[in-house]
């Protein structure tokens, strides 16, 4: 559970939509998580060292079967989702790796977020 002054600030930013989230890794875990957060109204920047993945997202295309290209295109066009190879980006980072998933493949947000 989030507690303390910093947690309250984060909750307020989430509620008013001003929080910026960076997802490190845009594979089969990071891309769907990024799309879900962006769909919820957050501004999400995906960071990946693979320039082909970054170019694909910026072009509105998907390389993950569970994520429709149309959804990525809409989010990129709206400004809620972008991708970069530059890791100097956000105060809130989300580690997107297998370690962030429960056995049932649902995100364990508490392990994925730090600020």
Average pLDDT for runs of 10 along the chain of length 115? 72 81 88 92 90 95 95 96 76 49 51 45
* pLDDT value, residue 34: 93
Domain boundaries, the chain: 4-114
Q: What CATH number has the domain spanning 4-114?
A: 3.40.50.720
pTM for the whole structure: 0.70
Q: Are the CB atoms for 72 and 35 separated by under 8 Å? A: yes
Scanning the chain, the segments in alpha helix (DSSP H) are 4-16, 30-39, 51-58, 69-78, 109-112
- What pLDDT sits at residue 114? 44
pLDDT for 53 equals: 95
């Amino acid at each position: 559970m989030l507690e303390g002054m910093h947690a309250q600030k984060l909750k307020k930013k989430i509620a008013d939509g001003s929080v910026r989230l960076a997802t490190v890794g845009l594979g089969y875990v990071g891309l769907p998580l990024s799309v879900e957060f962006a769909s919820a109204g957050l501004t999400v920047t995906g960071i990946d060292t693979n320039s082909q993945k970054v170019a694909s997202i910026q072009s509105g295309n998907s390389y993950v079967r569970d994520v429709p290209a149309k959804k990525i295109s809409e989010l990129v066009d709206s400004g809620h989702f972008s991708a970069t190879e530059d890791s100097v980006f956000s105060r809130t980072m989300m580690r997107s790796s297998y370690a962030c998933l429960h056995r049932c493949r649902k995100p364990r947000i508490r392990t994925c977020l730090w600020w």
